[in-house]
Amino acid sequence: MSAPQSITDGIHVVRGLVNIYIVETTDGCAVIDTGFPGSTSKIIKAVTAIGRKPNDVRHILISHAHPDHMGSAGSLKRETGAAVWAHPIDAPLIEAGTGYRHAEACPGIRNKVVAGLLRRFGLPNAEPMHVDHLLQEGDSLPFASDLSVIHVPGHCAGQIAFHFKRGGGVLIPADTCVNFGRMKLPATAEDLAQARDSLRKLAAYEFEALCFMHGPPLLVGADRKFRTWVSTNP
């Protein structure tokens, strides 16, 4: 496992097929998304690498109810005692351990190929777990006062993004977009029109860093690059 990368003060990324974020909070740490099942040991090692202990993980924030994002939340919760937070629309799927409502391929050859593979082979279910707290649009959380929650449906009905004010602004956009060589739509969307609306919604925010769940982050002038992409591509 490569060492966690520091994005800005108190925000770290654990790079992988699905990125995992560790945020230092007033009461310990929050983990944003947990990757596929079997990722708990990687997360614990990353927490240790930034000088924290497993029981410092007090919160698990799930961006949406797809198994590649919530896959290890149940195991991490059991290991650390952390509380799980999610949007009320996706909470029932998280508690059941299932995901992927019916979705269509987004435009692009790559997306059609990936969507076809997902339809054929699917993804493993996650461990069912209790969602302790519900996250709504505009929520500010007591353990991270600079964090705002943004409801961004389209890819998934209960998807949420996370905006931090620190470091000139940091946006974690969930799967509203990915970064594979350049910014792109995700492979699938439950509602493509909603997905595009959510991108336009995020474009109104200011952020120096854009921290994707799939692909490397953009760390300088990301909001300008994002607005240009949104206005010309999706």
The tokens 């999706």 sit on which residue?
A: 234
pLDDT confidence of 234, banded at 50, 70, 90? low
Region 27-55: mean pLDDT is 97
DSSP string, 167-186: GG-EEE-TTS-EESSSEE--
pLDDT confidence of 233, banded at 50, 70, 90? confident
Report d(CA 139, CA 125) in Å as an integer.
29
State the pLDDT at residue 126. 87
Least confidently predicted of 83-87, 109-113, 155-159, 187-191: 109-113
Q: Is the pLDDT of residue 146 over 80?
A: yes
pLDDT > 90: percent of the chain: 82
State the pLDDT at residue 1. 53
pLDDT, tens digit, for every residue of 77-123?
A: 999 999 999 999 999 999 998 877 788 888 888 878 887 777 776 77
Report d(CA 110, CA 62) in Å as an integer.
26
State the pLDDT at residue 109. 83
Region 61-66: mean pLDDT is 96
Q: Please, what is the Cα angle at 161 between 89 and 93, to 5 degrees?
A: 25
pLDDT, tens digit, for every residue of 130-142?
A: 999 999 998 889 9
Contacts of 19 (CB under 8 A, 6+ apart): 13, 33, 211, 212, 213, 214, 215
State the pLDDT at residue 131. 97
Report d(CA 172, CA 63) in Å as an integer.
9
pLDDT > 70: percent of the chain: 98
Exposure string (b/e) for 217-226, b if CB count within 10 Å is 16 or more?
A: bbbeebbeeb
Region 180-209: mean pLDDT is 96
State the pLDDT at residue 175. 97
Q: Which domains does the chain have, with CATH numbers?
A: 5-123+131-232 (3.60.15.10)
Report d(CA 95, CA 123) in Å as an integer.
17
The tokens 């461990």 sit on which residue?
A: 127
CA 46 → CA 21, 49, 119, distances in Å?
10, 5, 33
Report d(CA 115, CA 190) in Å as an integer.
12
